[in-house]
Structure formats: C-alpha cells, structure tokens
Structure 1
C-alpha cells in the first residue's frame, strides 16, 4: 500500500471530484459530511476513504440528489446507491470516477472489471468516445495541477493502450479492404502522445480501409518510403505538443515539398498545436480537423 496516494488536500478533492473547495467546506460545517485529519504540523488533509466518499457524493449530487438528502444516507450505503443509479442511467460518470479511483490506487483489477462491465453495455468505440476521451481530458488537467503524478498518468494510459490494441487486433482479423487508398498514421519527431492516433487507426480499420500505423517520432524522410509501395496515400498525424510553435509552419512547408507531390497524396492532421497556424491557408491536399470525430466522419 506504500505506493497508493492516501493523503489529499482540499484542492486535490476539488480537482478530482469537480466540487469546489468552498462548497466542500460549507458541506463540512453544515452537514458534517467530512472530517478532515491533520498532520503533525496541523495541516488539514483528507484520507482515501474521504476521497471515495466525495466521488460518490459528487455522483449523486450530479444525478439530482440534494446535499441535505445525501448527508442523511448511511455512509456504507452510498456506494450501493451509486451503483444502482449507474446501472439505470449515467453509467459514463460512474465509470469515469471508478477509473480515477483505479488510477490513484494503481488497481489494475478495478480497471479491468470496470471495462468488462462497460463492454456489456457499449461497443469499444462508444467506450472510447463516451468515457476515455473525457477521462483523458480530466487526467491531463489533474497532471497539470500536480494532483496526480506522471506514474498515475502512465499507469492509466498504458491500460487504455492495451485495450485499443486488443480491439484493433480483433477488427483487423475481420478486415475487408474496400478502397485503393492507404492510410499511413504517424507522429512527428519527439511526439509521444499516441492514444488518439491509435484510436483513429482502430476506426479506419473497422471501416474496412487499409491502415499502416507507424507510431511515435517518425522523421519526414521515412514517410517518403511508403510512396514506393502505394499510389494513393492519406497521411494522418496528431500534433499534441510537437512540432513546437516556432517550428510548425516550417514543418508543414517541408511536408508539402517532400510528400504532397501528386493529387493522390493527402495529409490529414489534428491536434492543439494547429492553433499556432492559419488552417485556412494550408497547402493543397492538406486538411486540418478540430476533433477525432470530425476526421472520422470523412471516411
């Protein structure tokens, strides 16, 4: 248990549950909802049990329960009520909370069990859209605010990566190629954030297209090799943190010069670094997308 985060500041609770610190303090005083502990130097903190309780309180509050009602429910019955409500409706919110709990405890079994429960209700693509995308957005914010460590983030993203790979293997075995176009998916030099691109690869294959996934940190020069084997190529990339702001325009110009030599070669790209360029004036055959959904709608 030494690796488990078991002390939380009130700011941690705010970041993890979405309930403002000011509101938590009011609920403590008015409803005796939580009892913070104190360190030897008299600094307030909350234990893991308090965090788990606040996740349940947040879920119930978001599902129409008033805090005055929640405060009267026996603490041991809160998880049962949450599971009952989640089974009837809002399974997404409950699953996100459970995945966050699994991440904080480095609990692989809880992650796998939650995922198997979701598979009974949803297909893999729905799970990614409805749960993984909002979850990963939250995780990014938690990391930026130092609520979690890089170890927590890597633990969770590695498990999600495993599920993408497993599902991709399953759809690939049933692939029916319905186009002469070949999609080539890659990330630029020093870009390592590949989960979004991995999911795009999954969806391209599931729709019957041929996809070649090259992965992280691929130099432009290596991409030219594919044109010796395929006539119609759509390169797809995800600019999350690379190329950097001062380099991205030159990167786009180099890509155009080296690779977009015929009308049959295209470049589709998305990611937050595109905010640094004028996407209305991109080279011919290059298209920018605002989201995974918008890109996949073009298939």
Structure 2
C-alpha cells in the first residue's frame, strides 16, 4: 500500500471517531493511549496510525470494553481483539471504520478486502442499508466540517457506485415481469449524487420491474418524450443538493403540470433536501415524498 501522509487535529479525530475531544485528552493523560505530536505553539496533531488506533479503541469501547481494560492491551493486541469481536458481532461497525481508513489512505485493497469479507455472509442490500448508507451519512458530515477533501469523498463514492453497478449487471439475466409499469429514474438539473438512485434501480431490478435509469442532471422538459413510449409510468428522483429548498414546491408544481397529466403517471421523491423543508409540502395526489430508500422500496 502506498502510504499517504496525513496529519489530523484533535477536532478531526472527534469527527472521524465520534469520541469527544475532551474525552480523547483525558484518555491521553490518564491512560497514555495516544502520543500526539505537538507544533511549536503546542497544538496537538495526530498521525494516521493514531487515528487507526483510536478507531479500534472506539470499537472496543462501544463493544463493552472498559477503557481501563483497553489501556492494558499492547499496540499489537488492540487490532487482534477488534478482529476477534468483529468476527462474532458488530461487523458493520468494524467495516465502517475500515472503509473510513481506506478512504483516508486512498487504499483500494483495504476497501475491496473489507467488502469481500462482508459479502461472504450478507446480502448486498444488507450491506448497503447497514454499512454504506451510515458511512455515506458520516462522510457527508466530515466533508462539511472540512475533515476530508472532495477527493476523499469521490474515492469512496466511486467504489460504492462500482459495487451497485456490478450487482445491477448480475440481474440482467433475470426474467423480467410482464411490463405493466415502467420506472423512470432521474436526477434534476444540477444534481449529480446518484448513489441512492442507483441503489433504488438495483432494488427494482431485483424485484423484476422494468426500469430506465437516466442518471444525473436531467432537464424536466426532456422527460416529456418518454410519455409517448410507455402507458403506465412512475418517475423517481432523489434531491441531495438540487433543487434549492425554496424552489422545491415550484419544481413539483411544474412537474405535475407538465408530466402528470393522467392517473397513470406518478412521481416518487426522496433525499436530504426534504428534511430541510420548514413546513409540510402541499403535494399533488400523484406525488409522494419518502423519508428513506427502504420505505420507498417497501411500497413498490
């Protein structure tokens, strides 16, 4: 593995591990768990190995180990103990930490080894809901707090996306249901975050439904031509960064007028943007907003 030299502030460690900076300082002083470097102005900074150790300590602590007991373990014993526990329980927590480390170090081998260990005993849907979704939520917060760079986020997103596409490809040989309804999956103008939508496409394909995935940044008026090809259509879209919250009601109103002119067309919406709305939307009868991918999939 090619090591990427990365230094972390104590605030970075707090964001990445979920352990408060105050607690980290106490653990350093009382148990000598970490040995930070210090700048000329006496500001702590931590190496990648310190971060890895703290992630492992966090895992053990969350698994019921008292910090005093962890402090008595040697440097070599800590990761061994983590692997022992992860083989029995809380595999998801351990995997999330491993994926974080793969992202921070741009380590593709660690990403694929972690994924391959998970897929041996879990379905892809289980991995997505219990590992990838929580991980992506954490990564979004880390990016907002400048703990990671866009390059880190893109590294992780691309590899997760590759896994979704691989699983979609494996469904191509399945015999589809008779085409009674077509699902059109698209992202609105200026929206490029397609992982959630890709996974919905995977779930629909696994159920044998006919889907057309149009992908990112699709102008609304370009969808009109699709109405000529299919009789019963359900549009699905995912709002992560676009449209702006204040423009969502107008977008839905325009979509309803342009594309939902009969009772055989519907629009299903979800995404982080809807949690930012301060008041309930007045939705047309053919539009439904979901608060999670899992709830949307259950209804289909």
* Shorter-chain TM-score range: over 0.9
What corresponds to 1:57 in structure 2? 57
Separation in 1 of the partners of 2:64 and 2:196? 33
User: Unaligned 5+ residue runs, structure 1?
Assistant: none
- Aligned-residue CA RMSD (Å): 1.5
Is the Cα contact below 8 Å between 2:186 and 2:218 reproduced in 1?
Answer: yes
Partner of 1:104: 104
Say whether the 8 Å CA contact 1:56–1:78 is kept in structure 2: yes
SS of equivalent residue, structure 2 residue 171: helix
Give a deviation string over 1:96-143, Cα, whole Å, max 9, x none: 000000000000011011111101010111100010000000000111
TM-score, normalised via structure 2 length? 0.96
**Cα shift at 1:247:** 1.8
Residue 34 (structure 1) aligns with: 34
User: How far off its partner does 1:253 sit?
Assistant: 1.0
Give the SS at the match of 1:26. Answer: helix
1:96–1:135 contact (8 Å) kept in structure 2: yes
Aligned to 2:235: 235
Kept in 2, the 8 Å contact 1:191–1:240? The answer is yes
> Is contact 2:249–2:281 with CA below 8 Å preserved after alignment?
no
Give the direction of change, closer, same or farther, for the CA distance of 1:264–1:61 in structure 2 (3 Å limit).
same
Residues 164 and 202 in structure 1, CA contact (< 8 A), matched pair in contact too? yes
1:245 CA drift (Å) = 2.2
Quick one: structure 1 residues 173 and 265, their matched pair in 2 at CA, closer, same or farther if it must change by over 3 Å?
same
Q: 1:248–1:277: 8 Å Cα contact kept in structure 2?
A: no
Q: Deviations over 1:37-92 (max 9, x none)?
A: 12345432111111111011000000000000000001111111101100011100
- Could you say what secondary structure the match of 1:281 adopts? coil
Partner of 1:288: 289
For 2:5 and 2:202, locate their aligned partners in 1 and report how far apart those are by CA, in whole Å: 34
SS in 2 for 1:164: helix
Aligned to 2:202: 202
> Alpha-carbon deviation of 1:164?
0.4
Mapped partners of 1:20, 1:188: distance in 2: 38
Number of the residue aligned with 2:172: 172
Q: Identify if the C-alpha distance between structure 1 residues 2 and 81 changes in structure 2 by more than 3 Å, giving closer, same or farther.
A: closer
Structure 2 distance, partners of 1:175, 1:47, is 52
Match of 1:253 in 2: 253
Are the equivalent residues in 2 in contact too, given 1:186–1:237 (CA < 8 A)?
Answer: yes
Q: Structure 2 stretches of 5 or more lacking a match? A: none
Q: What does residue 189 of structure 2 align with?
A: 189
Measured in 1, the distance between the counterparts of 2:281 and 2:44 equals 52
On the 8 A contact 1:186/1:218 being kept in 2, the answer is: yes
State the SS of the aligned residue for 1:121.
coil
Partner Cα distance (2:18, 2:278) in 1? 33
Q: 1:70 to 1:178 in 2, by over 3 A?
A: farther
Q: What is the CA-CA distance between 1:279 and the residue it aligns to?
A: 4.7
Count of residue correspondences: 299
Quote the offset at 1:175 in angstroms.
4.0
- Per the TM alignment, residue 271 of structure 1 is displaced from its structure 2 partner at its CA by 1.4
Alpha carbons of 1:249 and 1:5: their partners in 2 closer, same or farther (altered >3 Å)?
A: farther
CA distance in 1, matches of 2:175, 2:84: 39
- Distance in 1 (CA, whole Å) between partners of 2:21 and 2:189 is 40
